[in-house]
Amino acid sequence: MPPPKLIRTCSIWRALEVVGDTSILLILEASWIGARRFDEYRARTGLLPTLLSDRLKRLVAADVLEKAPYSRSPPRFEYRLTRKGRDLYWPALMMLRWERRWSAPEGRLQLRLRHRTCGQVFEPVPSCLNCGDEISARDVDWTEGPGVGWMAASYSRRRQRRHAVETSSSLMVDVAQLTGDRWASLVLRSIFTGLRRFDQIQRDTAMATNILSERLSWLTGFGVIGSHDLGGRRSEYRLTEKGIDYYPVLLMLLRWGDRYYVSPEGPPLLLRHKAHGHDLEPAVTCSCCSQPVEAHDVTFEVIEAETSRRLETAGSPWRRCP
């Protein structure tokens, strides 16, 4: 047997192993706005029953959802977010932020968030708690942490195609496709860490060359990277503004992965805020009062795309507006 290909240890990788699937992201979105039962997930996501059942089982196995009975005769179950699942709130807000900034709003659900702490309708902002500044990828530097290492790349077959988001009831159509393709996200991780040439990205991700070529082509068409000629038949891939603005999504996934999947030695990456020279302490804050936002402190209102009516929900981790 040939030796396995190795890639850099990364908490983003570990987080994407759990949530880097378009169908799973649609299920989590449905959970955040109130879905609990199988039929509710089916109606909200548009997923086929067999696919939905498989992804729900995976989320339960990963301790992101828990399965609880709500009827004994006949036996019926509902799915609730665990603490680990609720801690995906900040990555979800950053996905929502990116979708709002870079996707056309026509035909989409609209979500209005209100911060109970200050009482204002707000936008989620990626911020550093040590200085209060908004985080930009250009202002962050990184070094290897105590948990840095190498691990075998285990690309499963389900990662080799992106699931089309065909439902009009999704809040995050484009970002679900981007984050839901783990390979594409790992390509972006490489570029964010300064690896821009094809051979550098290939070594960092251990992808087959044909798969890497397809992902680079797709990301270019998606508008998050561009190819730049260096002369002498050399080229490199650079992030566009749309791609740079995706950084907070990866940053919050890194934070979640560090919390739940970090090695005993510590995190594989240490981040510093270059503008101030201190450790980066990422958080999602309120655009009105600059305080960190938590799910229990946020009410929300969902406006249906076609009917422009408010969607009533109950029992959601985001509390419905009264």
41-65: per-residue pLDDT in tens?
999 898 999 999 999 999 999 999 9
pLDDT, position 306: 52
Q: Is residue 70 part of a domain?
A: yes
What are the CB-based long-range contacts (under 8 Å, 24+) for 37-43? 37/70, 37/76, 37/77, 37/78, 37/79, 38/77, 38/79, 41/79
Domain of residue 136, residue span: 6-320
Q: Is residue 9 a contact partner of residue 268, using CB atoms and an 8 Å limit?
A: yes
Residues 6+ apart with CB under 8 A from 146: 265, 266, 267
Instruction: Measure the CA–CA gap between 60 and 55, rounded to whole angstroms.
Output: 9
- Mean pLDDT of the 159-185 span: 71
N-to-C CA span, the chain: 62
* Cα-based distances in Å from 250 to 30, 44, 168, 179, 210: 21, 25, 25, 9, 24
Instruction: Measure the CA–CA gap between 225 and 238, rounded to whole angstroms.
Output: 5
Residues 6+ apart with CB under 8 A from 46: 26, 166, 167, 169
Q: Which helix (H) or strand (E) holds 210?
A: helix 209-222
229 token code pair:
């000629």
pLDDT, position 313: 43
pLDDT, position 153: 66
Work out the pLDDT band at 89, boundaries 50, 70, 90: very high
What percent of the chain has a predicted confidence (pLDDT) above 90?
58
Q: Is residue 142 part of a domain?
A: yes
Structural domain count of the chain: 1
pLDDT tens digits for 176-231? 999 999 889 889 999 998 999 999 999 888 888 999 999 999 999 999 999 998 88
Q: Is residue 1 part of a domain?
A: no
pLDDT, position 309: 46
Q: Is residue 111 part of a domain?
A: yes
pLDDT at position 315 over 70: no
Instruction: Measure the CA–CA gap between 208 and 303, rounded to whole angstroms.
Output: 43
Q: Is residue 280 part of a domain?
A: yes
Work out the pLDDT band at 311, boundaries 50, 70, 90: very low
pLDDT, position 158: 45
pLDDT tens digits for 91-113? 999 999 999 999 877 666 788 99
Q: 10 Å Cβ neighbour count for 307?
A: 8
Considering 12-26, 76-90, 194-208, the range whose residues carry the highest mean pLDDT is 76-90
Q: 10 Å Cβ neighbour count for 144?
A: 13
Q: Is residue 267 part of a domain?
A: yes
